[in-house]
Amino acid sequence: MKIVQLKDYQTFAEEKMKKLNVFETPRFFCDVYCFEPGQSQKAHAHADQDKLYFVLEGQGTFQVGSESQILGEGQGTMAPAGEEHGVVNHTKERLRVLVFMAPNPE
């Protein structure tokens, strides 16, 4: 059994957001995304995958479809398959987000 501590998944880089894999199978993946202030995940869509975002630390602006909302620690949202989605760290603090997507697109 693999046991993880989400607090251990904290790698940041000035050049772009970092993705840290926590779990992965042929059916899903679970990552922690680490954003420095001003970094973003460009809005995009997945035709056949649902994606869940859950804020571990900080605040960010989350877009799902035509809606944008600021979410903070302990809050989450879901982007259903086909819906454009993305994240912006609009703050001066770091942002860490737990991301779950199924099925795994790889």
Strands 85-88 and 50-57: unpaired
Q: For residue range 44-69, list pLDDT tens digits in order.
A: 999 999 999 999 999 999 999 999 99
d(CA 100, CA 103): 10
Looking up tokens 């620690």 gives 73
pTM: 0.95
CA distances from 41 to 1, 45, 62, 90 (A): 31, 12, 10, 12
Q: For residue range 16-45, list pLDDT tens digits in order.
A: 999 999 999 999 999 999 999 999 999 999
Domains assigned to the chain: 6-102 (2.60.120.10)
Cis bond upstream, residue 103 (ω within 30): yes
Per-residue pLDDT at 103: 93
